[in-house]
A and B are shown apart, each in its own frame.
Chain A
């Protein structure tokens, strides 16, 4: 392409202390499709990047604060809060975002963090499940991500997770919609290029939930998938669908080795 910009060489350190791995050798299972995996942070403008370096500037942290209140508040017929069972998030949730989606053998399914939280709400708290990618769910997901920042993404793709991985991979390379574009067409073949005003990244999800300047709230992974597929003039899938759960595992695995970065700031 004409003036390919590519990823910049900036270094991300959060709050002057958490050193982030925003570029890493591609995991072996990508089989040469990419040499290096790169966080979406590298494709944003300097001003946007800057906002993520300090929790006082990162507006996503306002929603994390709301989730902390929720964490400590009892809900449902059992009168329990998340804190009653899990204590402080920083003590017990630091590995969650790096390892989810994860196969849960009791539930007999691959679970995203949101599905696991709803399992706790419905089966242990007697509370209603949160609607997929609703504000309360995404905010809590961001709290859990925030305490894991800096940890390398390391989702398992073998064993019981394998069929989900395969399903997600198949979707990643499917050319959906009237524009016949796959995730790979944009995020593997064209990252670094501009598609109109947008600088294409690798579409990594290590930074989710993302605070977007565009809508001034936290955004869930699967809502982002929904938007990208819709933009190919396709019938999209819904957040929480089996398809998007599988795709989330696959896309997350493409970022194995990158630091958990949520809540990140994007435009």
Chain B
């Protein structure tokens, strides 16, 4: 419910209206606002939010134990990827990498047996995307800070 509220004002792009380029990149901010890298780091590392760290290791996150290795290490994302590419990958990685294991974080439908969070029970009505438009922007801002020091 909090999500719907956050998306209802300002210039946020709804999940179904996101324009993906040919290689899956997304040109403009989903929230219409710049991202906050510090908050993006929290989203990245928190299970109930992005939980990205369960699959990806990031050398700069020295105080986060047990980083995953299902996806590639992201220690250099700020150098190897553009903001537009990163936004597209976080919003819906399936547009960049066909059939990838990586979940889509800014999508609301097309799921098989969607659940209500981690309860194991059926979702009630349409699911909000896993991350809000602003949280996607925040994670992208965080990823852009990841460079070899």
* Interface set, chain A 179-224, CB cutoff 8 A to B: 179-181, 185-186, 189-190, 193-197, 200
| Residue A174 CB within 8 A of the other chain | yes
Interface residues of A: mostly helix, strand, loop or mixed?
loop
Interface residues of B: mostly helix, strand, loop or mixed?
loop
In the assembled complex, the Cα of A175 lies from the Cα of B107 at a distance in Å of 15
**Are the C-beta atoms of A185 and B101 separated by less than 8 Å?**
yes
**Are the C-beta atoms of A178 and B103 separated by less than 8 Å?**
yes
Determine which of B68, B70, B115 lies in contact with A234 in the assembled complex, contact meaning CB atoms within 8 Å: B115
Residue of A nearest to B54 (CB): A196
**Are the C-beta atoms of B73 and A234 separated by less than 8 Å?**
no
**Are the C-beta atoms of A176 and B69 separated by less than 8 Å?**
no
**Are the C-beta atoms of B113 and A176 separated by less than 8 Å?**
yes
Q: Mark B111-140, 1 if CB is under 8 A from A, else 0.
A: 111111111111100010010000000000
Count, A-B residue pairs, CB within 8 A: 92
List of B residues within 8 angstroms of A230 by Cβ: 115, 118-120
Indicate the size class of the contact surface on chain A: 20 to 34
In the assembled complex, the Cα of A185 lies from the Cα of B93 at a distance in Å of 15
Q: Mark B96-118, 1 if CB is under 8 A from A, else 0.
A: 00000101100000011111111
* Interface set, chain A 139-191, CB cutoff 8 A to B: 174-181, 185-186, 189-190
| Residue A85 CB within 8 A of the other chain | no
What is the interface of chain A, defined by CB distance below 8 A to chain B?
A: 1-4, 174-181, 185-186, 189-190, 193-197, 200, 226, 229-236
What is the interface of chain B, defined by CB distance below 8 A to chain A?
A: 53-55, 57, 65-73, 101, 103-104, 111-123, 127, 130
9 pairs from A and B in contact (CB 8 Å cutoff)? A1-B70, A2-B72, A176-B112, A178-B130, A189-B101, A195-B69, A230-B118, A233-B118, A233-B130
